[in-house]
Structure 1
Amino acid sequence: STEPKFSEKRFEEIHKEITAYVKKVGYNPTIVPILPISGFNGDNMLEKSDNMTWWKKKKIERKGGSYEFETLFDALDNIDPPSRPMDKALRLPLQDVYKIGGIGTVPVGRVETGILKPGMVVNFAPTGPTTEVKSVEMHHEALVEAQPGDNVGFNVKNVSVKELKRGFVASDSKNDPAKEAADFTAQVIVLNHPGQIQAGYSPVLDCHTAHIACRFAELVTKIDRRTGKELEAGPKFVKSGDSCIVRMVPSKP
């Protein structure tokens, strides 16, 4: 806790730190609500707290209109819902795979793009089989189709648990199926790293549910992380705070 309790001065210090960090990673701090709360007794969570009489309602101006917030509930209730890319090809990274008695093999994961339906023939990249989806469930209820954002389990035909694993990506075999990649291009923001990063650096990359070492094969260009404009072509190194386009080579396709 702060000293004195519910200190306005301490909140202003934290507000300054958070604003600087939000700006550093490329967001506009004027549209990020920052407010003092205490979860221990629910201060400013659902209702305005009597312990922070100095805290006044704030206003956020953004595209699509403005809103006011005083509590955490206000801030959460005014988050813009993300767009659901249903028109794109199916991509579903597997979180896990189960063998369920009387049903069979059930991969589970979150639909990122596209839709998943029973009867669809899916492919599991990079090295998995192609098979038909028998059923799709979410929270123990059968679905006619699963949409982006849905965490689902789906039963597949004639596939053993050993043939699938976490990190595989399910896709529609008839609509731009996912494929293995020998290399790929990524936009990288270096948040915090001691020293300089040069070509040849090989960190472990977590992408959705995949967890694999990838080598920085080529630093293509350094860019402004807010505008995307090129700052330097073929930089020799990048460091904390930089944003860049990198050609990366995974240790396995």
Structure 2
Amino acid sequence: MATISTGLVSEGRKMDLLRFATAGSVDDGKSTLIGRLLLDSKAIFEDQLEAVERTSEAKGHDYTDLSLLTDGLRSEREQGITIDVAYRYFATPKRKFIIADTPGHVQYTRNMVTGASTADLGLVLVDARNGLTEQSRRHAVLLSLLRVPHLVLAINKMDLVDFSQEVYDRISAEFTQFATKLNVPDLEIIPISALQGDNVVERSTNMAWYSGPTLMHHLENVHVASDRDLVDVRFPVQYVIRPKSDDHHDYRGYAGQVAGGVLKPGDEVVVLPSGMTSRIAGIDLFDREVTEAFPPMSVTVRLEDDVDVSRGDMIARVNNAPTPSQDIDAMVCWMTTTPLRPRQKLAIKHTTRSARALVKDVQYRLDVNTLHRDNGTKELGLNEIGRVQLRTTVPLLVDAYSKNRTTGSFVLIDEATGVTVGAGMINSAS
């Protein structure tokens, strides 16, 4: 029986993790591609594969419908589309992966934003027969807005265009020209057939004219460690640990996930917003002490001095700390049917700190197809993105999203229902 890899290299060294999100129009083959990756990397159990083969046969298919491995919701299977964000996990001997299979329909753009917000790489699929569509461009723009550092354009269904190099060259040139308008630091364009497996894990013999990497080779080798901010120390405190046992009566640690920089014992730090300074006495990781911590490690930090630290505070370097701010300028993706309007009051969640926020102004709505700014509107509807000015009740410890995707992002919550209604990317704060 095929089993999922343990995620450890033979020498015992833990592998790094790649988060990537799939995007593209409906029926471009995202779910089938993920099924192919899971199958060919042997991350599927035999009984799962047998169930998919039986379902495919019952539907009258003369092939194994690999999309059934990811389209788990009943409504998705009935309609043949992906609605929710489906997360899948697998590993190869080189790397561990978390895949966010995001929806293709325009009305589920908010789900696509959710799935891509934490991704290291965005994988946009296009149907080789149709070329670039409005939704393909929309998702590329969203991935750019979300500052996803690596982008792959997978030209799928090459088997349906006779593996034509001319088709590949035409779509490749069109997308490359479109990408010049976007913030895309790294772009790779790969011709594939998710159904047959060409250039997914194994190199295709049908496309000898293509000399680039297979999709799996690129996913295994794309360099993501340098994408994280290792200069600006940001450690939002999530929980204060004070064990009550006799063995640890004097233990006081601050647990959280490192959002930026490298923390080491002996470093001088400042606790915000109080401004109290101390030095790091030690860093604990589960059952052992470590010599350093960096993103995205979850650790417990101990300080030499008994300073007042609580949930929502942030530990940073003394001469490199975020400025507390109550006035936030951000791009907001609105996720509910009730429009976002000026004077609206919402709850805001930023890292581990919560507050209330007032919408001061909606400056413009962004057309994610053309990047045109509609200055005539003063509200945002469902799935729309625009530039918004907020005023918070307490100062937030923020960075620009372009600098740090963790401390530069937030969510907006309806206070009455507790439902998340918006996601924001901070442009600046004052």
> TM-score, normalising length from structure 2?
0.44
Q: Which residue of 2 aligns with 1:244?
A: 386
Question: What secondary structure, in the 3-state scheme, does the structure 1 residue paired with 2:105 have?
Answer: helix
Q: Which has the higher contact order (CA 8 A, sep 6+)?
A: 1
Structure 2 residue 240 is the aligned partner of structure 1 residue 97: yes
SS state at 1:216 partner: strand
- The residue aligned with 2:373 is 231
The structure 2 residue matched to 1:57, chosen from 197, 214, 218, is: 197
Question: How far off its partner does 1:144 sit?
Answer: 2.2
In the alignment, is the contact (CA less than 8 A) between 1:189 and 1:225 conserved in 2? no
Specify the alignment match of 1:164 in structure 2.
309
Q: Residue 241 of structure 2 contacts residue 253 of structure 2 at CA under 8 Å; is this kept in 1?
A: yes
Instruction: Work out which of the residue numbers 249, 254, 259 in structure 2 matches 1:107.
Output: 254
User: What whole-Å deviation, never above 9, does each CA across 1:136-172 have from its counterpart, x for those lacking one?
Assistant: 1223332222112111111112325xx3222222111
**C-alpha displacement at 1:117, in angstroms?**
1.3
Match in the other structure for 2:364:
221
User: Does structure 1 residue 200 correspond to structure 2 residue 250?
Assistant: no
Tell me the residue number matched to 1:52: none
Report the AA paired with residue 20 of structure 1: H
Task: Determine the C-alpha separation between the residues in 2 that align with 1:59 and 1:16.
Answer: 24
Matches within 5 A, 1:41-56: 56=196
User: How far, CA to CA, are the matches of 1:168 and 1:59 in structure 2?
Assistant: 48
**Residues 1:189 and 1:92: Cα distance change in structure 2 (over 3 Å):** same
Post-superposition Cα deviations, 1:220-239, rounded to whole Å, max 9, x if no partner, equal: 22224477x45123631111
Query: In 2, distance between residues paired with 1:226 and 1:121?
Result: 47
RMSD: 3.6
Kindly indicate whether the alpha-carbon contact (under 8 Å) linking 1:117 and 1:146 is maintained by their aligned counterparts in 2: yes
Correspondence 1:188 to 2:326: no
Instruction: Give the percent of matched residue pairs that are identical in Structure 1 and Structure 2.
Output: 16
Q: Contact 1:104 / 1:156 at 8 angstroms: preserved in 2?
A: no
Change (3 A) 1:91 1:97: same
| Residue in 2 that maps onto 1:153 | 300
**2-side partners of 1:159 and 1:236: how far apart?**
48
Deviation of 1:116 (Å): 0.9
Q: 1:143–1:226: structure 2 CA closer, same or farther, 3 Å change rule?
A: farther
Bigger fraction of residues in helix? 2
- TM-score normalized by the length of structure 1: 0.70
Query: The residue matched to 1:182 in structure 2 has which SS?
Result: strand
Distance 1:104 1:223, change over 3 A: same
Runs of at least 5 residues in structure 2 that lack an aligned partner in the other structure: 1-50, 60-64, 69-76, 84-102, 114-121, 126-151, 155-194, 201-211, 396-430
Q: Provide the rounded CA distance (Å) in 2 between the counterparts of 1:93 and 1:178.
A: 11
Contact 1:126/1:178 (8 A) holds in 2: no
Q: Distance in 2 between matches of 1:57 and 1:22?
A: 30
After superposition, the C-alpha distances for 1:194-220 in whole angstroms (9 at most, x for unaligned) are 232111122222222222222211212
Aligned-partner residue type, residue 379 of structure 2? F
Mark the runs of 5 or more structure 1 residues left unpaired by the alignment.
Answer: 34-54
Does the CA contact (< 8 Å) of 2:239 and 2:255 recur in 1? yes
Residue 105 of structure 2 corresponds to which residue in structure 1? 20
1:238–1:109: structure 2 CA closer, same or farther, 3 Å change rule? same
CA contact (8 A) 1:188 1:243 kept: yes
